Amino acid sequence: ETAVFQTPNYHVTQVGNEVSFNCKQTLGHDTMYWYKQDSKKLLKIMFSYNNKQLIVNETVPRRFSPQSSDKAHLNLRIKSVEPEDSAVYLCASSSGGVGNTLYFGEGSRLIVV
């Protein structure tokens, strides 16, 4: 049963456009994440938030900016997309702490043409 909801599931856009992905979790977790899964299926963390506070910010281009209004929501905005941004963006949540399970959403597939 899905408890991490992402929208949109699929988006096609042109180079230079702005795109936003939304994520909501209903698990009551304190920690949320954005992961990028590229065409080779490599899974790389981009950001993680704990109770609206940014706690992990990997080496990500400046055009990516996360936004969190409360601990249940974490959005991702890409200001000016590039072809290499084509990927599946996976939102996840956990209760935080070492060893806690990540629960992933269904993903938002971005195609940049």
Partner 1 sequence: GDSVTQTEGLVTLTEGLPVMLNCTYQTIYSNPFLFWYVQHLNESPRLLLKSFTDNKRTEHQGFHATLHKSSSSFHLQKSSAQLSDSALYYCALSNSAGNKLTFGIGTRVLVRP
Q: Is 31 in the site for partner 1 (CB under 8 A)?
A: yes
> Which candidate, 23, 2, 39, 46, places its Cα nearest to that of 108?
23
Among 74, 76, 90, 110, binds partner 1 (CB under 8 A): 90
Give the number of residues in contact with partner 1, rule: CB under 8 A: 24
Q: Is 106 in the site for partner 1 (CB under 8 A)?
A: yes
Among 45, 67, 72, 77, binds partner 1 (CB under 8 A): 45
- Which residues are bridge partners to 104 per DSSP? 92
Q: Report the C-alpha gap between 32 and 95 in whole angstroms.
A: 9
Q: Is 48 in the site for partner 1 (CB under 8 A)?
A: yes
